Chain A
Amino acid sequence: MISRDERRPGADHPAAAVEQAFREERAAVLATLIRHVGDFQLAEDAVQDAFASAVATWERDGVPANRGAWLTTTARRKAIDRLRRTRSLADRADRLAELARIDAQEHRPDDAEAEESAVADDRLRLIFTCCHPALALPARVALTLRMLGGLTAGEIARAFLVTEPTMRQRISRAKRKIADAHIPYRVPPDDQLPDRLHGVLMVVYLIFNEGYDATEGDRLVRGELCSEAIRLGRLLAKLMPDDPEVLGLLALMLLHDSRRGARVDASGRYVPLDQQDRSRWDQGRIREGVRTLERALPLMRPGPYQLQAAIAAAHTEPETDWRQIAELYGALGRITPSAVVEVNRAVAVAFAHGAAAGLGLLAPLLDDAALQSYQPLHAAHAELLRRAGDEAGAARAYERAIDLSSNAVERTELEHRLARLRT
């Protein structure tokens, strides 16, 4: 969002300026307008009106110096117009009076700084409200992408493999619930903040993973999800620079994303981390990821995102330090125990201390009835058995992992490994 600021189309390119303002300013304008009008739908419609009017006005009068302020004022006046036209809004008079008051107060120069921080707060309000736990998780994801990312319902529908009417309904139902149940438009108070922030980070990471772990669907749209999640992560890191997990999540996404291009080869085949062409890793992303993580660590409050980012960072070193990675997975497992973490720890331990040590960690997982169809467990089991020299056992485990694969790229890779084992 910030990096795009460098090349600002000037007054001679009003259409491009509107387009750029749409990408860069829309979320902030919308976030402020929701606070002013107290209604998601009205705010969204009014912001839409403001952009429509910018096309003609900027062409005629030139591009304003402060586009965000111009758009906010115009959107507020459009909201007033819309409210006047609405016949049956019981509190119309109150709302109009409030909007008129805000309109009259605007642009008192001594308020400029206060206004700027209010705008930053508005975006946090919008994020926290879109990610409110009283909304179902798919609705939180959709609403966040719609309101903050500016993606259309159609784009979100394609990314999540549902029909456009279904997605439109999901978004409008969420907006209706916010209005009907009076979900407050605010950053939660301190006693609720850690829980609620955790929920926000989960939504952002889910958006990222939906793009990253493409099990199926349109790859182009999915790449956009990764970029959008990183944009949201950067925004959160800017607005909450003292929260180490906010920084940890941004670092994690940047480091994962640095390898996006190297994960699949020219024929579409999945390339495991240790065989990736490192020259295809995005060094800019890696540097930004490592720098972001380095800002989080001195805050001395480790958490799952920082640990995962530290693991991802360790994988970018020229010589992989498997002992360190195994320890980081151990720490991660103590905070958030899960089969995923345990399988990864076993693999790291196998690299650090030999295949037998890794197999020892997998044994209790393989006995767990709940994990019998957990594909990554069987894929890791096969790999460690192969390294331990048990070819028959490895072949059986590969077959099981192949049966459980839902991802074509991944299945091809496993079949490839099984075939190599037999030659």
Chain B
Amino acid sequence: MPQYMLLIYTPVDGPPPGSDPEQTAKWFEYTQALQDAGVHIGGEALQPVDSATTVRVRDGETQIIDGPFAETKEFLAGYYALDCPDLDTALGWAAKMPNIHYGTTEVRPVVDFSKVMAEAAQAEAQQQ
């Protein structure tokens, strides 16, 4: 079954995660609903973007920079990984997120490496 990442973006000036008990309860309920439906693979909330550190290595030199990869008005606040039969199902779950009325969720299909590896192996076997 295809897997999808639901990347949860929230406005920089929005409430920090865990600050509103009512909202937190809604997230727990939502996670429970995902588990009950048998689509939940994993998911985490992230600390606010102030806590981000960006790392890259260029010409052998490690560069460490305070702040997120890109300065934007909305930042990545967390994710869910879901097992869904198709995109519509994943979009349906995204539309039910507790913050969907002020935040934005990006839905991305996950690369199926077992399929990629199987295709590569098959191609190799046929070449020999």
Contacts and interface: CB of A to CB of B under 8 A. Distances in A.
Interface string A100-129: 000000000000000000000000000000
A4 interface: no
B108 to A, nearest CB: 8
B123 A184 contact: no
A390 B26 CA distance: 63
B62 interface: no
Interface string A67-102: 000000000000000000001111100000000000
A90 B113 CA distance: 11
A184 B89 CA distance: 9
Contacts of A88: 119-120, 122-123, 126
Interface stretch (A23-31, A136-144, A175-183, A370-378): A175-183
Contact of A184 (B86, B115, B120): B86
A87 B122 contact: yes
In this complex, the interface size class of chain B, counting residues with CB under 8 Å from chain A, is 10 to 19
Contacts, number: 35
A134 interface: yes
Nearest to B88: A184
A87 B123 contact: yes
A181 B123 contact: no
B88 A90 contact: no
A223 interface: no
B118 A181 contact: no
B87 interface: yes
Contacts of A90: 115, 118-119, 122
A178 B82 CA distance: 18
A124 to B, nearest CB: 15
B89 to A, nearest CB: 8
A399 to B, nearest CB: 42
A61 to B, nearest CB: 36
Contacts of B109: 180-182
A192 B120 CA distance: 39
A9 interface: no
Interface in B80-100: 85-88, 91
B67 interface: no
B30 to A, nearest CB: 19
B85 to A, nearest CB: 8
A104 B23 CA distance: 56
B2 interface: yes
Given A90-B115, A134-B91, A182 B122 contact: no
Nearest to A92: B122
A100 to B, nearest CB: 19
Contacts of A183: 86-88
Contact of B86 (A89, A91, A182): A182
A188 interface: yes
A134 B119 CA distance: 28
A266 B91 CA distance: 52
B87 A184 contact: yes
A183 B118 CA distance: 23
A91 B91 CA distance: 25
Interface string B1-16: 0100000000000000
Contacts of B118: 90
A88 B122 CA distance: 6
B115 A181 contact: no
Interface in B20-35: none
Ordered nearest first, which 6 A-B pairs have the shortest CB separation? Answer: A184-B86, A88-B123, A90-B118, A88-B119, A90-B115, A182-B2
Interface of B: 2, 85-88, 91, 107, 109, 115, 118-120, 122-123, 126
Given A182-B86, A184-B85, 7 more contacts: A87-B126, A88-B119, A90-B122, A91-B115, A134-B87, A181-B107, A184-B86
Interface of A: 87-91, 134, 180-184, 188, 192
26 contacts: A87-B126, A88-B119, A88-B120, A88-B122, A88-B123, A89-B122, A90-B115, A90-B118, A90-B122, A134-B87, A181-B87, A181-B107, A181-B109, A182-B2, A182-B85, A182-B86, A182-B87, A182-B109, A183-B86, A183-B87, A183-B88, A184-B85, A184-B86, A184-B88, A188-B88, A192-B88
